[in-house]
């Protein structure tokens, strides 16, 4: 049972890191804030345990070590690779044998779940944008404030800074955009790079200043 627990834990942890790798901000928060995110890493954990079961059931097809704990770790980390192997041969209507692998189906299912996470996340971010930009009087000044706030980061790459600058140039040169739309575009660009805590602090401080605060 310990080996299965290890395989599940390693698989779940790998799932959490997979979710985090797809988003630039709030990686850990995303993994524990959405139903489909929970579902994603729990399924990854179960796949790890199932992969260990297959390793033990088909030792002739899956290379293993002499150490149960190491096998459990391998199962947790390499579940999809293991599940892509053909463990059973089934005959089709023509009598031809076809290998039965689950990896492709599982990959498609996980991709679907990830798309649901992204949609839920996008809805929350739109709500956050609407709440923070509500009541702003001078969007142009806010844009300058958001861009200037990047100087507070010491480890922000030149590439990320250039991404913001390119977006600013793009929206500035598009005369069809309203000031609100320009601010929204810059908002999402900086949010993607810096996270919610930073952008909330910047905009709330700007609102306070705009309303006559210190």
Q: How far apart are CA 125 and CA 75, in angstroms?
A: 36
Give start and end residues of each alpha helix (H) in 22-34.
27-31
Please state the pTM of the whole predicted model. 0.73
| pLDDT tens by residue, the chain, 214 residues | 899 999 999 999 988 988 888 877 777 788 888 899 999 999 999 999 988 998 888 887 778 888 989 989 998 888 867 765 555 455 555 666 555 556 667 778 888 998 999 999 999 999 999 999 999 999 999 999 999 999 999 999 999 999 999 999 999 999 999 999 999 999 999 999 999 999 999 999 999 988 876 5
Q: What is the pLDDT of residues 142-151, one digit of tens each?
A: 999 999 999 9
Q: How far apart are CA 7 and CA 56, in angstroms?
A: 12
Q: What's the pLDDT at 85?
A: 58
Q: What's the pLDDT at 191?
A: 95
Q: What is the pLDDT of residues 53-91, one digit of tens each?
A: 988 888 877 788 889 899 899 988 888 677 655 554 555
Query: CB neighbours of 54 closer than 8 A, spacing ≥ 6?
Result: 62, 82, 83, 85, 87
Q: What's the pLDDT at 103?
A: 66
Q: What's the pLDDT at 97?
A: 53
Q: What's the pLDDT at 170?
A: 96
Cβ 209 vs Cβ 146: under 8 Å: no
Q: Which residues pair with 99 in a beta bridge?
A: 89
Q: How far apart are CA 207 and CA 132, in angstroms?
A: 9
Q: How far apart are CA 152 and CA 148, in angstroms?
A: 8
Q: What's the pLDDT at 96?
A: 62
Q: What's the pLDDT at 24?
A: 73
Give, for 115, the enclosing helix (H) or strand (E): helix 103-133
Q: What's the pLDDT at 98?
A: 53
Q: How far apart are CA 186 and CA 172, in angstroms?
A: 10
Q: How many CB atoms lie within 10 A of CB 141?
A: 15
């Amino acid at each position: 049972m310990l080996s299965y627990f290890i395989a599940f834990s390693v698989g779940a942890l790998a799932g959490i890191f997979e979710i985090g790798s797809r988003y630039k901000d709030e990686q850990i928060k995303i993994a524990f804030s959405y139903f489909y995110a929970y579902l994603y890493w729990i399924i990854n954990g179960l796949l790890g345990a199932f992969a260990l079961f297959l390793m033990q059931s088909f030792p002739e097809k899956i290379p293993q070590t002499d150490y149960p704990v190491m096998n459990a770790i391998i199962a947790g980390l390499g579940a999809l690779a293991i599940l892509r192997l053909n463990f059973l041969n089934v005959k089709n209507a023509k009598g031809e044998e076809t290998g039965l692998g689950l990896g492709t189906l599982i990959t498609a299912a996980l991709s679907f779940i990830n798309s649901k996470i992204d949609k839920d996340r996008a809805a929350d971010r739109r709500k956050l944008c609407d709440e923070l930009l509500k009541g702003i009087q001078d969007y142009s000044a806010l844009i300058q404030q958001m861009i200037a706030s990047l100087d507070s980061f010491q480890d922000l790459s030149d590439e990320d800074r250039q991404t913001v600058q390119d977006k600013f140039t793009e929206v500035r040169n598009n005369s069809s955009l309203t000031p609100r739309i320009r601010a929204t575009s810059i908002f999402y660009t900086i949010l993607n790079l810096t996270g919610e805590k930073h952008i909330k602090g910047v905009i709330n401080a700007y609102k306070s200043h705009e309303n006559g605060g210190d």
